[in-house]
Amino acid sequence: MPTCIGVVDISAFILLICIIARLNSSRARGYLPPGPPGWPLIGNALDVPKTGAWKTFAKWSDEWGDIMTLNLLGQTVLVLNSSNVAFELLDKKSAIYSDRPRQPVITEIMGWERTIGLRRYSPTLKALRKLVAQKIGTRTALQDLSIHLEREALSFLWRIMSDPKTLAKQVDRYTTASILRITYGYGIKEDNDELVNVVKRAMDTFSIAAAPGAYLADIFPIMTRIPAWFPGAGWKRQAQTWSTYFTMMRELPLKYSKEQLQAGTLEPCFVSEYLDGNDNLERENLIADAATSLYAAGADTSVGAILAFFLAMMCYPEKQKKAQDEIDSIIGNDKLPSVADLDRLPYVKALCWEVLRWHAIAPLDSQKMMYVRAILSPRVTIVFANIWAILRDRRLYSNPEEFNPDRFVPSDGYEPEYDPRQICFGFGRRKCPGMQLAQMSLSLVVATTLSVFNISKPSVNGKVVEPLVQFTANPISHPLPFECDILPRSDKAMALLSSAFGSPV
Ligand code: HEM
């Protein structure tokens, strides 16, 4: 008899596990599309790599299709692997796909919930996006600020000519300098700039805290209630310290602008358009949050795009030559291209589009959430748009691995391929509000660089070194460090650059 009870117990136990697993899977799936099977309770958590998950998702889509459901530790996740489904859900139904999931450590403890990118969808978010849209959201609005880009681009070229081996450092300097000037009217110092140190330190802590799986408390938010003094709560004490870095990043540059405004010396910039010296606290908070968001979201992304351009030029010299021929014939060799000239350079424009397609800078669109109200369906679902996969979807792009700007150049009987800007800047109501600035900045660097420099593979002892075309697997992806040769195209180009920068040859 006891044996019989044992068998019944075991059978009941197995049945219970099966019911839980089944319930778990029906909860996870609900009325949602199918996806790879996972383990009971933890679902697909062990199968999704911590970094570079977009490649795994792309592989799975061969079997599960353009839209699939995953279960990550009980959290339902939808992955969108084609432009059609991304537009269908994120654009057409943007009302329910515009939120961000809770990441309590970085947002609530470290304070980054004030930035546009990490804010939950709300009237304040809409107000912040409106501030950005009005001043940098269109090319017309940007015209007044484009002089800052031209000044910083010239400084970039001069520094590259002086020391071509410091490319990565100079790209970083250019994006930091141009965004701080456009946002706060602040010109960075030659070395060891205090404000640059402040924003970089905050961004460094952001990168650590925003990495997937950085905190258990993001998965179990109840842990954020643990007091900071509690043994084992070192992560909370650290996050609290890091929140002061965010506060400094938000407050110090704005303090500079306010002082300059009072002294009557503030250059035209994003905040100068809004600050009038009599702002109430609520309004000033809004301006501070919008301004902080520009550096937070705009600097690292632009670095990725410009470095990808240099890498592509080295690998595809014939495309470089074609763009240079266009610049020579339309602009000539007596001046550097300016922002006003960019519209006259269709091949350079196509080349910039191809940079944005060839290397997905934000490979996995930030998470969005929807609320599903059907019974048995999960209440909240996180949605990832796999930008990396969509930008190399063979239904949109022929030979997607190849860098080929010509795919965007219309000609008799040839229909250009799909505009990648509709994909790489995200979708729906959270689409990148800095996309016009990002394109203007990239195109200006591309046009001015190609007008005065040749970019080529480096040589060691007379032997050409083939570059590795590889990219980091971070949420904001850059090319892996690479060497390249950057040489002036001619003495005339050098003289032009020197006279434009105001220094002797
Ligand atoms: C090539 C450069 C850039 C790329 C590829 C890029 C791409 C993106 C993507 C994919 C998103 C997420 C959109 C979504 O969730 O649907 C985003 C958000 C954002 N971007 Fe950009 N971006 C770039 C440059 C910039 C620049 C220069 C700025 C501003 C100066 C900027 C400001 C923002 C902000 C504030 C958000 C958050 C929007 C929100 O959550 O509502 N970005 N960007």
Helix H segments across 65-103?
83-86
Tens digits of per-residue pLDDT, 104-153? 999 999 999 999 999 999 999 999 999 999 999 999 999 989 999 999 99
pLDDT per residue as tens digits for the range 187-210:
999 889 999 999 999 999 999 998
- What's the Rg (C-alpha) of the chain? 25
Nearest-atom index, ligand 1, CA of 118: 40
CB 368 within 8 Å of CB 90: yes
Does residue 30 surpass a pLDDT of 60? no
Residue 483 has pLDDT above 90, yes or no: yes
Where residue 5 falls among pLDDT bands split at 50, 70, 90?
very low
Q: Residue 19: is its pLDDT beyond 80? A: no
Tell the residue nearest (CA) to atom 6 of ligand 1.
Answer: 425
Segment 423-439 mean pLDDT: 96
- pLDDT, one tens digit per residue, over 246-302 is 999 999 999 999 999 999 999 999 999 888 767 788 889 999 999 999 999 999 999
Q: What is the rounded CA–CA span in Å between residue 312 and residue 310?
A: 5
Q: Is the CB of 361 under 6 A from ligand 1?
A: yes
Decide if 186 contacts 265 (C-beta within 8 A): no
Is 388's C-beta closer than 6 angstroms to any atom of ligand 1? no
Does any ligand 1 atom lie closer than 6 A to the CB of residue 425? yes
- Which mutation among 172, 432, 440 tests ligand 1's pocket best, with the greatest number of atoms within 8 A of CB? 432
Q: Answer whether 455 contacts ligand 1 (Cβ < 6 A).
A: no
* Whole-number average pLDDT of the chain: 90
- Average the pLDDT over 6-19 and give the result: 51
| pLDDT, tens digit (0-9, with 9 covering 90-100), for 330-388 | 999 999 999 999 999 999 999 999 999 999 999 998 667 766 544 444 567 889 999 99
Does ligand 1 lie within 6 Å of residue 117's CB atom? yes
Q: State the chain's maximal CA–CA distance in angstroms.
A: 102
CA of 196 to the centre of ligand 1 (A): 21
Architecture of domain 2-501: Orthogonal Bundle (1.10)
Which contacts qualify for 256-261: CB closer than 8 Å, 24 or more apart?
Answer: 256/184, 256/186, 256/195, 257/184, 257/185, 257/186, 260/185
Protein residue whose Cα sits closest to atom 32 of ligand 1:
434
The pLDDT of 300-312, averaged and rounded, is 98
Q: Which atom of ligand 1 is nearest to the CA of 132?
A: 35
- pLDDT per position as a tens digit, 405-420: 999 999 888 999 999 9
CA distance 467 to 482: 7
